[in-house]
């Protein structure tokens, strides 16, 4: 809530320091500044629920080799996305050491000398490598307790020299593996829609990868703010790596379901672009991260499969899924138009897809 103060001025002052939330914590603040105050944190409505778990799906080698296994995996994916919009994958082919090094690399970036970090600080949405805090700092009602390093890793692989020295090798390695896993997930999703395995790949859904490497510093007043407030992702899908700290929750049937850390698993969630092209057959799901109560930072990496901005490819509901009974619910749009809309409104808890509904 804006409240009765010069919010815009305080936001700008914070942004201009280029130190992120981590810089505030390092400076020894003991209270959460009011630009981060959310109205609805303490109100636990929807209620937390510990009885439900998001599905875990084994996508091990058999998926490629045996039709029987592949069919059963596709059935599980379909059930998971229709029920939750979220699932975890295990035996996904990414070695544990790579996932651990990725978390170390992210931590290394955010914990290095702030003068080095500042050289990457930017809010230019066309910039391929940038660090900032709260992509929607100027448009949201309240800021979140999180800093992010964002890198476009595909289709054009960045020059090593353009990436931060401290994490460039692992970012390149991790992204290469993400692209491969992304292909598999889009094949499974295509088949779960009753389409041929390459369908979504041929629409270029698996082609572009933006890697968001988040750092959630410990928060002195975690009941005042969020790590990331409730939102859906703009992507086709997002593949998420989270560390051991916890705090990620998914909204299901009016309840916030915890997604407890599992060091071997990666989380897959469906984004708004997939909801739009599947004409609501698959839906993107609201999720959030609570502000970090612990002593240690929380680290996560979100692999957003979506086009780099600017991109003019037009997307609308796929004609294969439409019929007289199921007419298109969305107008055609581009990732660029969607991204601009998201940025202009900020994460405000309502579905940004409404803007594109017919």
Which positions touch ligand OGA (CB under 6 A)?
212, 214, 228, 233, 240, 242, 248, 287, 289, 300, 302
From the list ligand OGA, Ni ion, none, partner contacted by residue 347 (C-beta under 5 to 8 A by kind):
none
Least separation in angstroms between residue 57's CB and ligand OGA is 19
**Alpha-carbon span 304 to 306, nearest angstrom:** 6
Q: Which does 242 bind (CB under 5 to 8 A by kind): ligand OGA, Ni ion, none?
A: ligand OGA
C-beta neighbour count of 115 within 10 angstroms: 8
15 binding Ni ion? (CB under 5 A): no
d(CA 134, CA 132): 7
Q: How far is the CB of 194 from Ni ion (least distance, A)?
A: 27
188 binds, among ligand OGA, Ni ion, none (CB under 5 to 8 A by kind): none
Please report how close the Cβ of residue 70 comes to ligand OGA at its closest, in angstroms. Answer: 29
Least distance (Å) between residue 121 CB and ligand OGA: 19
In the bound state with Ni ion, the residue whose beta carbon lies nearer, of 183 and 233, is 233
CA 194 – CA 174 distance, rounded (Å): 30
Taking CB within 5 to 8 Å according to partner kind, which of ligand OGA, Ni ion, none is near residue 248? ligand OGA
Q: Compute the least distance from the CB of residue 215 to ligand OGA, in Å.
A: 9
The reply to whether 272 sits near Ni ion by the rule CB under 5 A is no
Closer by beta carbon to ligand OGA, 54 or else 248: 248
Q: How far apart are CB 233 and ligand OGA at their closest, in Å?
A: 5
Site size toward Ni ion, by CB under 5 A: 1
Q: Choose the binding region for Ni ion from 126-134, 182-190, 228-236, 336-344 (rule: CB under 5 A).
A: 228-236
Using the contact rule CB under 5 A, the part of the chain among 64-72, 89-97, 210-218, 225-233 near Ni ion is 225-233
Alpha-helix runs per DSSP H in the chain: 7-17, 20-26, 62-65, 67-83, 96-111, 114-118, 168-192, 199-202, 272-277, 335-345
71 contact partners, CB below 8 Å, separation of at least 6:
none
Distance in angstroms (rounded) separating the CA atoms of residues 89 and 178? 13
233 part of the interface to Ni ion, by CB under 5 A: yes
Cα-based angle 57, 61, 66 (whole degrees, multiple of 5): 95
Tokens in use for 288?
């959030």
Give the C-alpha distances (Å, rounded to integers) separating 245 from 57, 205, 297, 318. Answer: 22, 31, 8, 39
From the CB of 253, what's the least distance to ligand OGA, in Å?
20
Query: Can you tell me whether residue 159 is helix, strand or coil?
Result: coil
CB atoms within 10 A of CB 68: 9
- 66: which 2 tokens? 């045996």
Cβ atoms 276, 330 nearer than 8 A: yes
Q: Which is nearer to ligand OGA, 206 or 212 (CB)?
A: 212
Looking up tokens 């103060």, which residue turns up?
A: 5
Separation of alpha carbons 34 and 112, rounded Å: 27
The residue number whose beta carbon is nearest to Ni ion equals 233
Q: Which is nearer to ligand OGA, 205 or 237 (CB)?
A: 237
Contact footprint for Ni ion (CB under 5 A): 233
């Amino acid at each position: 809530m804006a409240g009765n103060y010069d919010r815009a001025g305080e936001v700008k002052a914070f942004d201009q320091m280029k130190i992120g939330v981590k810089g505030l914590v390092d400076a020894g603040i003991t209270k959460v500044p009011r630009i981060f105050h959310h109205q609805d944190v303490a109100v636990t409505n929807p209620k937390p629920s510990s009885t439900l778990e998001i599905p875990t799906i084994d996508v091990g080698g058999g998926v490629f080799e045996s039709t029987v296994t592949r069919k059963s995996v596709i059935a599980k994916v379909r059930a998971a996305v229709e029920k939750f919009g979220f699932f975890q994958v295990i035996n996904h082919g990414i070695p544990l050491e790579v996932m651990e090094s990725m978390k170390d690399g992210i931590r290394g970036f955010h914990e290095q000398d702030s003068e080095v970090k500042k050289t990457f600080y930017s809010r230019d949405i066309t910039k391929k490598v940038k660090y900032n805090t709260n992509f929607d700092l100027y448009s949201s009602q309240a800021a979140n307790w999180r800093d992010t390093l964002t890198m476009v890793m595909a289709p054009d692989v960045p020059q090593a020299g353009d990436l931060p020295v401290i994490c460039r090798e692992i970012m390149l390695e991790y992204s290469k593996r993400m692209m491969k896993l992304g292909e598999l997930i889009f094949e499974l999703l295509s088949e779960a829609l009753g389409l041929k395995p390459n369908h979504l790949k041929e629409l270029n859904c698996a082609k572009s990868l933006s890697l968001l490497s988040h750092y959630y510093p410990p928060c002195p007043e975690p009941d005042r703010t969020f790590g990331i407030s409730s939102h859906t992702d703009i992507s086709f899908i997002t593949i998420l790596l989270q560390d051991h700290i916890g705090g990620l929750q998914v909204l299901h049937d009016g309840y916030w379901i915890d997604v407890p850390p599992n060091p071997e698993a990666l989380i897959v969630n469906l984004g708004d672009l997939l909801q739009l092209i599947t004409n609501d057959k698959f839906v993107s799901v609201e999720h959030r991260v609570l502000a970090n109560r612990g002593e240690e930072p929380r680290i996560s990496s979100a692999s957003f499969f979506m086009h780099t901005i600017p991109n003019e490819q037009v997307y609308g509901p796929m004609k294969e899924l439409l019929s007289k009974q199921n007419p298109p619910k969305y107008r055609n749009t581009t990732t660029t138009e969607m991204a601009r809309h998201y940025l202009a409104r900020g994460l405000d808890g309502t579905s940004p897809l409404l803007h594109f509904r017919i």
